[in-house]
C-alpha cells in the first residue's frame, strides 16, 4: 500500500517547508534624550518623591508637574492637568507628610503647564533612561564579538531589538557558566583572552 502525499512534491509525513519572511518593520527608533540642566529645586523634588511610596496616577501627576517652589512645609506645582492634581492632592500630601514627619501642603498654579518640555521629574527620568539605553546600545555595538559577527555575516544591527538581560536570563547564564567552566563568555573580558 502506498501513501499519497497531500501536498504535491512532498512525501507523506514530511513537514512543510519553513516560511521565510523578511522582517517587515523595525521597532520604534530610540529617541535621543532631552538635554537640559536640572535645577536644584527639581532635584530636591525628585529626591523627596523617591522617598515616598507614591505610585500610579498620584506619582505620575506629581512627576509630570513643573516645580515652582519647594519649602519644608509646601510645594507649588504647575501641573499638566490641574484637575488631576486636585483629585490626587490628598494622596500626594499624605505620602509627603509621612516622609517629612509633619503636615505638607501641595498647591498648584491657576494655569496648567503649557510647555511640552518644561522641566519636571518625569522629563528628567525619561532623559536619564534614554541616555542609559543609548549607552547600552553603543556598548553592544562596540563589542568586538558583535562587530566580528556583523562583518562576517554582512549583517545590520536592529538597535530597537537590543535590550538588557532579564533576571531569569542572568540566572540561566550564571548556572551555565558554573556547569561549563571555561566556556566562551560574552563581553570584552572574553575578547581579551583570545
Q: What is the pLDDT of residues 110-126, one digit of tens each?
A: 888 777 778 999 999 99
What domains does the chain contain, in order, with CATH numbers? Answer: 40-121 (3.30.300.150)
Tell me which residues of the chain have a pLDDT lower than 70: 1-25, 183-194
User: Residue 1: what pLDDT?
Assistant: 41
pLDDT of residue 31: 81
**Residue 194's pLDDT is what?**
38
Q: What percent of the chain has pLDDT over 90?
A: 56
pLDDT for the residue 3: 44
Residue 4: the pLDDT is 45
At 41 the pLDDT is: 94
pLDDT of residue 190: 46
Task: Give residue 112's pLDDT.
Answer: 81
Give the DSSP letter of residue 117: T
Amino acid at each position: 500500500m502506498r501513501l499519497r502525499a497531500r501536498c504535491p512534491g512532498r512525501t507523506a509525513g514530511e513537514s512543510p517547508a519553513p516560511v521565510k519572511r523578511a522582517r517587515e518593520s523595525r521597532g520604534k527608533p530610540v529617541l535621543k534624550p532631552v538635554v537640559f540642566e536640572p535645577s536644584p529645586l527639581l532635584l530636591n523634588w525628585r529626591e523627596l518623591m523617591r522617598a515616598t511610596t507614591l505610585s500610579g496616577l498620584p506619582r505620575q501627576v506629581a512627576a509630570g508637574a513643573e516645580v515652582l517652589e519647594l519649602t519644608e512645609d509646601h510645594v507649588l506645582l504647575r501641573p499638566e492637568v490641574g484637575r488631576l492634581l486636585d483629585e490626587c492632592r490628598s494622596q500626594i500630601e499624605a505620602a509627603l507628610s509621612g516622609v517629612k514627619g509633619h503636615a505638607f501642603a501641595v498647591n498648584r498654579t491657576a494655569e496648567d503647564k503649557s510647555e511640552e518640555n518644561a522641566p519636571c521629574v518625569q522629563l528628567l527620568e525619561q532623559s536619564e533612561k534614554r541616555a542609559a539605553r543609548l549607552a547600552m546600545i553603543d556598548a553592544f555595538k562596540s563589542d568586538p564579538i558583535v562587530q566580528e559577527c556583523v562583518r562576517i555575516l554582512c549583517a545590520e544591527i536592529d538597535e530597537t531589538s537590543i535590550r538588557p538581560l532579564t533576571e531569569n536570563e542572568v540566572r540561566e547564564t550564571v548556572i551555565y557558566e558554573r556547569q561549563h567552566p571555561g566556556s566562551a563568555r560574552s563581553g570584552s573580558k572574553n575578547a581579551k583572552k583570545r
